[in-house]
A and B are shown apart, each in its own frame.
Chain A
């Protein structure tokens, strides 16, 4: 069965610190997609990244970077030089391709608090 585990429930850092949010997933499919979403205090879900199972290249977007390792079934998210505006709940999610009605399977989220 599919499962996404975000072991860190809450993380608190001070501005300018780097922080890594962990995500471990389980799936039997060879083709799947992994996502990260940000949920700021206002409540909406903001899409950050999608990665498919055939692309293990790490990705960097500004202060954000993602490390995808199939060998450890992990898709970790690092924020470099964190800012107060990064304070939010972050969700990792998994989608198995090729199945009708495939839901996004979400982790329980990691609440990141960045203080000034």
Chain B
């Protein structure tokens, strides 16, 4: 089954404790991206990757890092999480960057 998976689905952590949210897709898509969703703001892009070892900032990259060492994986790294990074995070992938397939979401709470 073609899908985008994210782990963990739910995470509660404390300020400053480094964390990684994994994202994996099995569709051989070149394009992957991360979004965050906040009430009243819709979804905003954090980072994207056009291919292996090619990443770039989206609209709200501050406080996040990503890496793309393999085509299927695109982890989101929060080196020092802060409460304002409490959000619902979505990973997405696509072939050609147009229609994006979304993962199930990761609900992160930073205390």
Main DSSP-derived SS at the B contact region: strand
A93 and B90 alpha carbons, distance in the complex (Å): 15
- Flag if B98 contacts A45 (CB, 8 Å): no
- Flag if B98 contacts A108 (CB, 8 Å): no
- Flag if B41 contacts A108 (CB, 8 Å): yes
**Smallest CB separation, A57 vs chain B (Å):** 18
Interface range on chain B (Cβ under 8 Å from partner)? 20 to 34
- Flag if B42 contacts A107 (CB, 8 Å): yes
**Smallest CB separation, B5 vs chain A (Å):** 12
Q: Which residues 84-98 of A have a CB within 8 angstroms of B?
A: 91, 93, 95, 97
Interface contacts (Cβ under 8 Å), in number, total 55
Residues of B within 8 A of A100 (CB): 50, 97
- Flag if A45 contacts B97 (CB, 8 Å): no
Residues of B within 8 A of A43 (CB): 88, 104-105, 107
A109 and B41 alpha carbons, distance in the complex (Å): 8
Residues of B within 8 A of A106 (CB): 42-44
Residues of A within 8 A of B1 (CB): none
Residues of B within 8 A of A35 (CB): 99
Interface range on chain A (Cβ under 8 Å from partner)? 20 to 34
- Flag if B33 contacts A45 (CB, 8 Å): no
B74 interface hit (Cβ, 8 Å): no
- Flag if B48 contacts A103 (CB, 8 Å): yes
Q: Which residues 18-51 of A have a CB within 8 angstroms of B?
A: 33, 35, 37, 43-45, 47, 50
A-B residue pairs in contact (CB < 8 Å), sample of 13: A35-B99, A37-B102, A43-B88, A44-B104, A45-B105, A50-B98, A95-B100, A97-B98, A101-B48, A101-B50, A104-B43, A104-B92, A108-B40
In the A-B complex, the 10 residue pairs with the smallest Cβ-Cβ separation, listed nearest first, are: A103-B45, A106-B42, A45-B102, A108-B42, A106-B43, A43-B105, A44-B104, A101-B48, A102-B97, A101-B56
On B, residues with C-beta under 8 Å from A are 31, 33, 35, 40-45, 48, 50, 56, 58-59, 88, 90, 92, 97-102, 104-105, 107
